[in-house]
Chain A
Amino acid sequence: MIQVVRAGALTTVQDLGRPGWAHLGVPRSGALDGPALRLANRLVGNAETAAGLEITLTGCRLRVTRTTTVAVTGAYGPLRVDGRAAGLGQPVAVPAGATVDIGAASHGVRRYLAVGGGIDVPPVLGSRSTDTLSGLGPAPLTDGDELPIGTAVPTPSTVHFTPGRPTPDVLRLAVRLGPRDDWFTTAAVGTLLSTPYTVSPVGNRVGARLAGARLTRARAGELPSEGIVLGAVQVPADGQPLVFLADHPTTGGYPVIAVVDDVAPLAQARPGTTVLFHGPQR
């Protein structure tokens, strides 16, 4: 059992999400930095699909009631077990009753904790992920919550230590234009691929909002609602792009000018980070 001593700003249970239900309006959800959660799971000997915790910015404090192994990946920041510093990106033995303190992120945004056996809340539509848009899955953690831990499979980790990924001040994101780049002026498409944008503080699990040069439309009128993919760069009426992350709605009516290939770095980008979009062109 994991007892939540301090839940922090936003700590949620996440696995790799619930794909396959978009036709019913169910978002994919899942860890925003999928590679970080997969790595944490591998470090403690879990399947990559096991559920862990996604811990946002301010960290959290947990107590583990049985002897287990944890691993913390993703954003940098302190990790302490019963007050003693422990390493990131490696398996850490935790005795029964010990406190695990995941401090505030010093670089990056989201930290991932995996525990041997995974977090064993009941799956909803095949996933244990918290979906902040539709409310499926367990609610975000609050102080005093108790989370069941699954039975640890005694599979030794094949990885013993992994260096962290630095979070750059300037993020270069590869995009592919379309499907609705033709709804924008040629100049707007050029602007998207040549001028810096800044990660806005008004981001969440649904999307990362960016601020910068306004992207002007070539066509007036409304686009009929259409299906949305992860990483879609949607441009609402104010002309400021929004990149959809895991809890994105399944359909939407603003034109998508481009799609980001890999959103994981964006999930770790702090407000104020400069984003540069670049090809491949379509």
Chain B
Amino acid sequence: MRIREVGAGALLLECDDGAQVEAWRAELWRQRAAGRLAATEIVPAARTVLLDGLTDPAATATLIAGWPPPPAAGTATGTLVEIPTRYDGPDLEAVAGHWGVPPAEAVRRLTDTEFQVAFAGFAPGFAYLRGLPEGWEVPRLATPRTVVPAGSVALAGPYAGIYPTASPGGWRLVGHTDVTLFDVHREPPALLMPGTRVRLVAR
């Protein structure tokens, strides 16, 4: 793990892989809850964790560098959320073709995978789900759709994701769900938080 300064009030922790990001994300949230770390934002992403709103980034960097690296093993302890999914997306056949399997097998692969929320972004409540085995990366559409319906279950690169609201998008649509992913009146407002385990259950 390497620490970079970002502007006058933030740090970027660079990790080796998504598992280490999740380990540091969980550790930093724990340390903040325990009052040992003051940061307005702790934002995990693909290979990094951003800490923003720091009053003394250099001192925080020294503090964090002194902590033992959190173990990556056994971090998949988040709550499990099952997303009832209808696998009827317009790109399901293309994804199956990319994997060289029939669509039914592609659905079985997706239902059998335990995903974990790596990070959020793109829109409130949009979670990047990691967990697809290596080699199953799916290319984005060459031309994004102008409208992807809310609830679309989709794949792109190494990630799966669910569109919380209708928006443009270039991910491959494999199905849809009626679950509400983001609700400002819920606590927390996002159903899928960083660390949450997810199953895309066929129904």
Contact of A232 among B4, B7, B123, B125 (CB under 8 A): B7
- Specify which of B7, B41, B48, B125 is in contact with A22 (CB 8 Å cutoff): B41
Is B5 a contact partner of A178 (Cβ separation < 8 A)?
A: yes
| A residues with CB within 8 A of B | 19-26, 124-125, 134-136, 176, 178-179, 224-229, 231-232, 249-252, 256, 259-261, 282
Is the beta-carbon distance between B5 and A22 smaller than 8 angstroms?
Answer: no
Which residue of B52, B184, B190 is within 8 Å of A229 (Cβ)?
B52
- B53 and A25 within 8 A (CB): no
CA of A135 to CA of B166 in the docked complex: distance in angstroms?
Answer: 12
> B50 to A226, Cβ gap below 8 A?
yes
Compute how far the CA of A228 lies from the CA of B9 in the bound complex, rounded to whole angstroms: 12
Partner of A227, one of B45, B123, B165: B45
Asked if A23 and B42 sit within 8 Å, CB to CB, the answer is yes
6 new A-B contacts, CB < 8 A, other than A179-B5, A225-B45, are A23-B43, A24-B190, A136-B184, A226-B12, A226-B50, A227-B48
Partner of A226, one of B8, B40, B41, B46: B46
> How many residues on B have C-beta within 8 angstroms of the other chain's C-beta atoms?
39
Binds A, one of B63-71, B114-122, B170-178: B114-122
Across the interface, do A20 and B47 meet the contact criterion of CB distance under 8 Å?
no
Bound-state Cα–Cα, A136 to B123, Å: 10
Beta-carbon contact of A225 and B124 below 8 Å: no
Question: Are A229 and B6 in touch, CB under 8 angstroms?
Answer: yes
**Could you tell me if A227 and B40 are in contact, using CB atoms closer than 8 angstroms?**
no
A229 touches B7 (CB 8 A): yes
Instruction: Supply 10 A–B pairs (Cβ within 8 Å), ascending by A.
Output: A24-B125, A24-B193, A25-B123, A125-B189, A136-B184, A227-B49, A229-B6, A229-B9, A229-B10, A249-B121
Does chain A have a CB within 8 A of B188?
yes
Which residues does B use to contact A, with CB under 8 Å? 4-10, 12, 40-50, 52-53, 119-128, 165, 182, 184, 188-190, 193-194
Inter-chain contact B8/A227, CB cutoff 8 Å: no
Q: How far is the CA of A232 from the CA of B127 in the complex (A)?
A: 23
A residues in contact with B12, CB < 8 Å: 179, 226-227
Contact of B5 with A136 in the complex, beta carbons under 8 Å:
no
A245 to B167, CA, bound (A): 22
| CB proximity of A64 to chain B, nearest CB, Å | 29
Q: Which residues of B contact A251 (CB under 8 A)?
A: 43, 45, 119-122
B5 touches A282 (CB 8 A): yes
CB of A250 within 8 A of CB of B120, answer: yes
Residues of the A chain whose Cβ atoms lie less than 8 Å from the Cβ of B40: 19-20
Distance (whole angstroms) from the CB of A226 to the closest CB of chain B = 4
Q: How far is the CB of A49 from chain B (nearest CB, A)?
A: 15
* Separation of A135 and B190 alpha carbons in the complex (Å): 15
B61 to chain A, nearest CB (A): 12
Q: Which residues of A contact B193 (CB under 8 A)?
A: 23-24
Most chain A CB within 10 A, of B6, B9, B49, is at B6
Tell me the nearest residue of chain A to B182, going by C-beta. A24
Known A-B contacts A125-B184, A225-B119, A229-B7; A25 and B190 likewise in contact (beta carbons under 8 Å) = yes
Residue of A21, A229, A249 most packed against chain B (CB within 10 A): A229
Given A176-B8, A259-B8, A24:B124 Cβ within 8 A = yes
Task: Enumerate chain B residues within 8 angstroms of A232, measured Cβ to Cβ.
Answer: 6-7
A225→B121 contact, CB < 8 A = yes
Q: Is B5 touching A23 in the complex (CB atoms < 8 A)? A: no
- Report the nearest B residue to A123, measured CB to CB: B184
Chain B residue nearest to A176 in the complex (CB): B7
Task: For B3, give the chain A residue with the smallest CB separation.
Answer: A179
A-B pairs, top 9 by smallest CB distance, nearest first, are A227-B50, A259-B7, A251-B121, A224-B46, A227-B43, A25-B120, A24-B190, A226-B45, A179-B4
